[in-house]
Amino acid sequence: MTERAQLQQARRLVVKIGSALLTNDGEGLDVPALGRWVDQMAALVAAGVELVVVSSGAVAEGMSRLGWTRRPQQAHELQAAAAVGQMGLVQTWEAQFKRHGIHTAQILLTHDDLSDRKRYLNGRSTLRALLELGVVPIVNENDTVVTDEIRFGDNDTLGALVANVVEADGLIILTDQLGLFDKDPRKHSDATLVNECFASNRNLDAMAGSSAGALGRGGMQTKLRAARLAARSGAFTVIVGGRIDNVLSRLREREALGTLLLPEQGRVAARKQWLASHLQTRGTLVIDDGAARVLRQGGRSLLPVGVTRISGEFRRGEMVACLDEQGNEVARGLVNYDAAAARLIAGQSSERIMELLGFMTGEELIHRDNMVIAS
């Protein structure tokens, strides 16, 4: 199997599209191009792929709508432009996906939303719910409220973080160059395209320039950083020219377009390693023999009904250990309820969670995706 087959097998993808591409180098939204990407995305959705779009272009589209020819320096002007442009962005995405009978949803995120554990989990639940409903979330940074300290700074990083959050198989970054070259192709006519590489390869650092186009912010350096971030959760990244005819469909058909940056380890292994490396637990759940048996078999979530005792004061999203009646560790994972709520639902059927708590953030205490079984 060539590595390109990963694109054909991917079930969940994040597609990030940069400002220059989306706005025809600042001429205003390139609706026909956007329509063509949507046609290809709709085909992917029809083939069972779950898609998240990370769309830049709010500032560029806002500038165009306001008749500004130069990118403003002042934060409040940039933020005003983003607020105007975001309207155009989501309207256009919505209208294009509507042609295919696909719903879209607007998600605006700040760094705080993903670094705070509770908000991260809530954001993740919302994104997952949307994907399960067959909706295509359209994500951008919440430019109007971010301050310099909390900005992702560029949507490449945002794309990678979203890929981590939804546990995507891959991140596709559509940009104005054919891919990552061994040097900036805008400055060197002899630059050659990198076809495939491990994202962690240090030789790439010297190739990727930090300078972006007039409209974008990141350049190739942030795209490379994004690929490394995505690789942490086992996702591959493709950096590829968004103007290439049928680019998404052809990538799906394993055509060797753009630059494929690979993680060193697969998605499940990466996640398990991440969980296993979090040694500190905030509490323990003692589970009955039946629950211990199914968890040890693997691939199952922990439901409240299997929990007999709870100790420690933990918050939703923190790591807890699951012990059997003899005190042996069976698994550890990120818990869906804080300690007080967990005590109220322990030993109860999941159907009673709503009645007992007045809210529900999942029918399981620990979802199988957030759990590692003790070896």
Ligand X SMILES: Nc1ncnc2c1ncn2[C@@H]1O[C@H](COP(=O)(O)OP(=O)(O)O)[C@@H](O)[C@H]1O
Ligand Y SMILES: N[C@@H](CCC(=O)OP(=O)(O)O)C(=O)O
Among 37, 97, 152, 181, binds ligand X (CB under 6 A): 181
Least gap, CB of 163 to ligand Y (angstroms): 15
| Number of residues forming the site for ligand X (CB under 6 A) | 24
Q: What are phi and psi of 137, to 5 degrees?
A: -70, 135
> Which residue stretches of the chain are H helix?
5-9, 19-22, 31-46, 58-66, 75-98, 111-115, 117-132, 155-165, 203-207, 219-232, 247-252, 267-277, 289-297, 339-345, 353-357
Do residues 149 and 159 lie in contact, with contact meaning Cβ atoms separated by under 8 Å? no
C-beta of 72 vs 312, nearer to ligand Y: 72
Owner of token pair 């191009």:
33
C-beta of 19 vs 336, nearer to ligand Y: 19
Binding site partner of 176, from ligand X, ligand Y, none, Cβ cut-off 5-8 A by kind: ligand X
Q: Taking CB under 6 A as the rule, does residue 177 contact ligand X? A: yes
Q: Taking CB under 6 A as the rule, does residue 186 contact ligand X? A: yes
Binding site partner of 185, from ligand X, ligand Y, none, Cβ cut-off 5-8 A by kind: ligand X
Binding mask 208-227 for ligand Y (x = CB under 6 A): ----x---xxx---------
C-beta of 21 vs 339, nearer to ligand X: 21
Q: Taking CB under 6 A as the rule, does residue 79 contact ligand Y? A: no
Report the C-alpha gap between 258 and 261 in whole angstroms. Answer: 10
Least gap, CB of 49 to ligand X (angstroms): 22
Least gap, CB of 230 to ligand X (angstroms): 15
C-beta of 94 vs 184, nearer to ligand X: 184
Interface with ligand Y by CB under 6 A: which range of 35-43, 68-76, 139-147, 224-232? 139-147
Query: 56: annotated binding-site residue?
Result: yes
Reference 222, options 173, 167, 170; nearest CA is 173
Label residue 367 exposed, middle or buried (CB < 10 Å: 0-12, 13-18, 19+): middle
Query: 104: annotated binding-site residue?
Result: no
Query: 176: annotated binding-site residue?
Result: yes
Among 14, 59, 108, 207, binds ligand X (CB under 6 A): 207
Do residues 319 and 280 lie in contact, with contact meaning Cβ atoms separated by under 8 Å? yes
- The helix/strand/coil state of 164 is helix
Query: 272: annotated binding-site residue?
Result: no
Length of the chain: 375
Among 15, 38, 109, 143, binds ligand Y (CB under 6 A): 143
Interface with ligand Y by CB under 6 A: which range of 53-61, 117-125, 189-197, 273-281? 53-61
Residues 6+ apart with CB under 8 A from 174: 15, 16, 17, 18, 21, 37, 240, 241, 242, 247
Report the C-alpha gap between 172 and 54 in whole angstroms. Answer: 10
Reference 158, options 313, 42, 54, 27; nearest CA is 54
Q: Taking CB under 6 A as the rule, does residue 208 contact ligand X? A: yes
Do residues 12 and 166 lie in contact, with contact meaning Cβ atoms separated by under 8 Å? yes
C-beta of 192 vs 308, nearer to ligand X: 192
Binding site partner of 44, from ligand X, ligand Y, none, Cβ cut-off 5-8 A by kind: none
Report the C-alpha gap between 177 and 184 in whole angstroms. Answer: 9
Residues lying near ligand X in the complex (CB under 6 A) are found at 18-21, 175-177, 180-181, 183-186, 207-209, 211-213, 216-220
Q: What are the binding residues for substrate?
A: 56, 143, 155
Residues lying near ligand Y in the complex (CB under 6 A) are found at 18-19, 56-60, 82, 140-141, 143, 154-155, 212, 216-218
